[in-house]
């Protein structure tokens, strides 16, 4: 005979059993292994004009 239980009964049963992996998960959540922060970085890019391009072309010839 097959036992049939509801999803709620299964969840209640699993919540009452102490899972050692959940304890490990809680422990690792308290230890910061990586501490990542983001910040804006300003980069200066020179403006290249058509005169610069033409002078470089003539320089390369």
Angstrom distance (rounded) from CA 49 to CA 28? 55
To the question of pTM greater than 0.75 for the whole model, the response is no
Output 8 or 17, whichever has higher pLDDT.
8
35 or 48, which is more confident?
48
Residue 25, in any domain of the structure: yes
Q: How many domains is the chain partitioned into structurally?
A: 1
Is a pLDDT exceeding 70 seen at residue 10?
A: no
Domain that holds residue 20: 1-31
Residue at 45 is within a domain:
no
Stretch 1-25: mean pLDDT, rounded? 66
> Residues 35-49: what's their mean pLDDT?
86
DSSP calls for 32-56:
-S------------PPPPHHHHHHH
Residue 27: phi and psi, rounded to 5, are: -65, -45
Tell me if 36 is assigned to some domain. no
> Is position 1 within any domain?
yes
3-class secondary structure, 30: helix
* Residue with more model confidence, 28 or 57: 57
């Amino acid at each position: 005979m097959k036992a049939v239980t509801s999803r709620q009964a299964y969840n209640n049963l699993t919540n009452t059993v102490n899972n050692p992996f959940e304890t490990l998960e809680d422990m690792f959540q308290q230890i910061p292994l990586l501490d990542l922060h983001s910040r804006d970085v300003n980069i200066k890019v020179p403006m290249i004009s058509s005169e610069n391009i033409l002078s470089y072309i003539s320089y390369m010839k």
